[in-house]
């Protein structure tokens, strides 16, 4: 057998190699022998990871400047991380989505959940948006994009460089067109009977949040005839899905004027612009004003940004979720529905649920939990990485 072209990285004697053999995807810096040789490795370099007895554990991507020193790429230590390797991983990811969705609008790659650590790819028909959130993915972006075009047949590939994870990996914020031409207008995306307009070049993240598709659908089932308040709505989120399911009317609140403009345009194109209104402003201030004027809704749904994106932000983040629940609960009619969402991986389901229940109680309300939702199946969770199961949604009948 030919020797591996990759250097070796070794675990310290007390590091838990068994965890890695059972599929754990990350190795932290304090578990790795860091000598002069390993410190010289380029961020994003590929290496063979060995245990303290020099037995191979697999092929890893290395970043000596990150707390996550190694990301497991392949447990076959003979694997070569080349274009063919990317083709195989992408074909596997595509096969799952093709079984679930009739049209090619979904998250195609969900990082570790699809065996491509730190890589997010959202597909919008003939266009794909890549977020290479780890140094190794940035280094292999040409092979990744080429393999993506081969496997999917997309004719446009965009690189989105936004996001906190890239900064932690020491990466830039430079956007790029990797193939074809960027769409000149927002891309229409149909989900749950509603059509959303996704800005793939100037919008948040990749332009649309596919992860809430299942939860939008659940809310829509309860929406017929309802007065709906959609807080932190982005490009229409819950409001448009509920209107498509014959809600009486919807008020959408967000701090982004461009996002609200896309929501309004989508509502008008769908023919229910007369039942859709928007309000630009700070969500807490808007909810306070609505409460002061005695406004009430049959359904209030809050889908805020990550209030607890890290362990350090957990406690203030939980207080923020409690505040959202308290303010939103006061706007719900008796017998109405309150939906509360969190995309903070640091706040697990139990903590988020406890904060939400405290907030409801502080509002003087009582509620029965009728639904707990998560990201859809195009966001597969790595079973040994809680961060990959970041999205939670709780629906209460108050």
Q: Per-residue confidence of the chain (398 residues) as pLDDT tens digits?
A: 566 799 999 999 999 999 999 999 999 999 999 888 888 899 999 999 999 999 999 999 999 999 999 999 999 999 999 999 999 999 999 999 999 999 999 999 999 999 999 999 999 999 999 999 999 999 999 999 999 999 999 999 999 988 778 888 888 888 999 999 999 999 999 999 999 999 999 877 788 999 999 999 999 999 999 999 999 999 999 999 999 999 999 999 999 999 999 999 999 999 999 999 999 999 999 999 999 999 999 999 999 999 988 889 999 999 999 999 999 999 999 999 999 999 998 999 999 999 999 999 999 999 999 999 999 999 999 999 888 889 999 999 99
| Claim to verify: residue 140 and residue 274 sit in the same structural domain | no
Question: Residue 66 falls within a domain, yes or no?
Answer: yes
Main-chain dihedrals φ then ψ at residue 141, nearest 5 degrees: -65, -35
| Claim to verify: residue 246 and residue 168 sit in the same structural domain | no
| Claim to verify: residue 96 and residue 70 sit in the same structural domain | no
| Claim to verify: residue 228 and residue 318 sit in the same structural domain | yes
Question: Residue 355 falls within a domain, yes or no?
Answer: yes
| Claim to verify: residue 172 and residue 64 sit in the same structural domain | no
Residue finishing a domain among 144, 160, 179: 179
Q: Let me know if 70 is a catalytic residue.
A: no
Q: What is the CATH classification number for the domain harbouring 101?
A: 3.30.750.80
| Claim to verify: residue 381 and residue 257 sit in the same structural domain | yes
| Claim to verify: residue 328 and residue 235 sit in the same structural domain | yes
> What 3 state SS string does the chain have?
CCCCCCCEEEECCCCCHHHHHCCCCEEEHHHECCCHHHHCCCCCEEEEEECCCCCEEEEEEECCCCCEEEEEEECCCCCCCCHHHHHHHHHHHHHHHHHHCCCCEEEEEEHHHHCCCCEEEEEECCEEEEEECCHHHHHCHHHHHHHHHHHHCCCEEEECCCCHHHHHCCCCCCCEEEECCCCCCCEEEEECCEEEEECCCCCCCCCCCHHHHHHHHHHHHCCCCCEEEEECCCCCHHHHHHHHCCCCEEEEEECCHHHHHHHHHHHHHHCCHHHEEEEECCHHHHHHHHHHCCCCEEEEEECCCCCCCCHHHHHHHHHHHHHHHHHHHCCEEEEEEEEEEECCCCCCHHHHHHHHHHHHHHCCCCCEEEEEECCCCCCCCCCCCHHHHCCEEEEEEC
Question: Residue 3 falls within a domain, yes or no?
Answer: no
| Claim to verify: residue 159 and residue 290 sit in the same structural domain | no
> d(Cα 137, Cα 78) in Å, to the nearest integer?
19
Structural domain that includes position 304: 187-397
| Claim to verify: residue 125 and residue 232 sit in the same structural domain | no
| Claim to verify: residue 359 and residue 284 sit in the same structural domain | yes
Question: Residue 2 falls within a domain, yes or no?
Answer: no
Residue finishing a domain among 24, 40, 74: 74
Main-chain dihedrals φ then ψ at residue 170, nearest 5 degrees: 75, 30
Number of structural domains (the chain) is 3
Instruction: Record the pTM.
Output: 0.94
Query: Which residue among 156, 302, 341, 343 is the active-site one?
Result: 343
| Claim to verify: residue 210 and residue 165 sit in the same structural domain | no
Q: What is the CATH classification number for the domain harbouring 55?
A: 2.30.130.10
| Claim to verify: residue 279 and residue 338 sit in the same structural domain | yes
- Structure token digits, residue 64: 């000596």
């Amino acid at each position: 057998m030919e020797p591996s072209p990759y250097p070796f990285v070794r675990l310290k004697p007390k590091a838990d190699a068994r965890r890695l053999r059972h599929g754990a995807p990350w190795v932290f810096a304090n578990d790795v022998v860091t000598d002069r040789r390993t410190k010289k490795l380029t961020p994003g370099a590929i290496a063979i990871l060995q245990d303290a007895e020099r037995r191979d554990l697999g092929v890893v991507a290395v970043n000596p400047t990150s707390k996550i020193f190694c990301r497991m790429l392949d447990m076959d230590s003979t694997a070569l991380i080349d274009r063919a390797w990317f083709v195989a991983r992408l074909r596997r990811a595509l096969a799952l989505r093709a079984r679930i969705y009739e049209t090619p609008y979904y998250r195609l790659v969900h990082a570790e959940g699809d065996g491509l650590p730190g890589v997010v790819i959202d597909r919008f028909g003939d266009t794909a948006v890549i977020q290479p959130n780890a140094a190794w993915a940035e280094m292999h972006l040409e092979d990744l994009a080429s393999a993506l075009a081969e496997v999917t047949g997309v004719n446009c590939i965009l690189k989105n460089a936004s996001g906190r994870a890239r900064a932690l990996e020491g990466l830039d914020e430079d956007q790029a067109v990797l193939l074809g031409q960027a769409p000149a207008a927002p891309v229409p995306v149909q989900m749950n009977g509603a059509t959303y307009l996704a800005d793939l070049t100037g919008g948040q993240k990749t332009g649309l949040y596919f992860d809430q598709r299942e939860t939008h659908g659940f809310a829509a089932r309860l929406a017929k005839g309802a007065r709906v308040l959609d807080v932190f709505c982005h490009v229409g989120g819950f409001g448009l899905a509920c209107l498509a399911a014959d809600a009486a009317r919807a008020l959408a609140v967000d701090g982004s004027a461009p996002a609200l403009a896309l929501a309004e345009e989508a509502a008008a194109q769908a023919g229910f612009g007369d039942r859709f209104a928007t309000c630009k402003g700070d969500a807490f201030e808007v909810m306070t004003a609505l409460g002061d004027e005695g406004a009430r809704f049959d359904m209030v749904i809050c889908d805020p940004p990550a209030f607890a994106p890290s362990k350090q932000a957990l406690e203030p983040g939980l207080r923020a979720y409690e505040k959202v629940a308290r303010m939103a609960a006061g706007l719900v009619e008796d017998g109405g529905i309150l939906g509360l969402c969190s995309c903070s991986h640091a706040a697990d389901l139990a903590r988020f649920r406890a904060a939400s229940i405290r907030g409801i109680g502080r509002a003087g309300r009582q509620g029965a939990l009728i639904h707990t939702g998560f990201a859809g199946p195009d966001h597969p969770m790595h079973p040994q990485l809680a961060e990959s199961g970041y999205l939670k949604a709780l629906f209460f009948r108050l």
